[in-house]
Amino acid sequence: MSKSSSQQTYTERIHQAVDYISAHISDEISLDVLASVACFSPFHFHRLFTAFIGETPREYIERVKLEKAANRLCLMPFKSVSEIAFECGYASASSFSRSFKKYHCISPSDFLKKHKEDFHSLNVSAPKTLRAFTARDISSVQVKSLPSFHFAYVQTLNGYMDGIPKSWKQLLRYAETYDLIEPGAWHVGMPFDNPGITPRTKCRYRACISVNEAYVQTRGEVKTLDLAAGKYAVYCFKGKVEDISDAYAFMYGGWLPQSGYMPDEKPLLEIYPPELHTECHTGLLEYEIALPVIPL
């Protein structure tokens, strides 16, 4: 096995463990189970995971749970702290509150009061006052049904500055080599974390291109996934990179509370025009933010 092939195998197995954690974050996840998912012994898995991710499995699970909880507090104010605690895998509201305060340095209730409008901007280097949302902004969001997708994708765990550009470069190179890009193919980003809460260098993301359903890959640098059809609130973002946090603040803090909808559990989608990847050097971006929704 070549050096690059060996590296890819290790990376893929760690990603399998991370994906398992994401799918079972509300459950009690043991080291033995994670090691089995990654096809390593528990002894070696713990060391490998820590070396690849920079956190122990337990530290990683706890961080992801508490970041998920922070998002839910802001997005679902109609739910009690206890409900959110149980949904994020905590046995009691008191144990959740202790862990939340230890990680976020603020209690869950105070976090909600303080950050319900700016939680998509907490990690922005230069805090700014978000502009007021207008009726025109609100009406520009369209709730529409999107079809089911069969995607080829590359996943990164390394965030926005390095991970996302590299994942797209890797995916596009692979897709061109194997002639996977068909006319009208969808170019879609799947962000799994809120960079306002999760450190930007640790945000999970999938670069995706829709491909023919006959193409299936469960192993390797590029894999495939199916996403069911669903209803999305779609907003066309036009602006600079530094304006993106405003767009998400508008979607979650301006449009969503008065819409009669709540976020669905499906991944959020960023739908890009194919030329975005070659024109992003201009500093101006235009793409659709598609927030999965269900009736409130």
pLDDT value for 128: 52
pLDDT for the residue 42:
94
Q: Please give the structure tokens belonging to residue 124.
A: 């922005």
pLDDT of res. 257: 85
Which residues fall within 8 angstroms of residue 136, CB to CB, at 6 or more apart?
none
**From the candidate CATH numbers 1.10.3720.10, 1.10.10.60, 3.20.20.80, 3.30.410.40, the one assigned to the domain spanning 3-115:** 1.10.10.60
Q: State pTM to two decimals.
A: 0.89
Q: Of the given ranges (64-73, 119-128, 243-252), which has the lowest mean pLDDT?
A: 119-128
Tokens 């669903």, residue? 230
Residue range 108-133, pLDDT digits in tens: 999 988 887 777 777 655 555 555 66
Q: What is the pLDDT of residues 138-196, one digit of tens each?
A: 788 999 999 999 999 999 999 888 899 999 999 999 999 999 999 999 999 999 999 88
**Distance in angstroms (rounded) separating the CA atoms of residues 14 and 146:** 31
pLDDT band per the 50, 70, 90 thresholds, residue 287: very high
Q: Would you list the domain boundaries of the chain?
A: 3-115, 142-295
Q: Check: CATH 3.40.50.150 for 142-295?
A: no
pLDDT of the residue at 30:
95
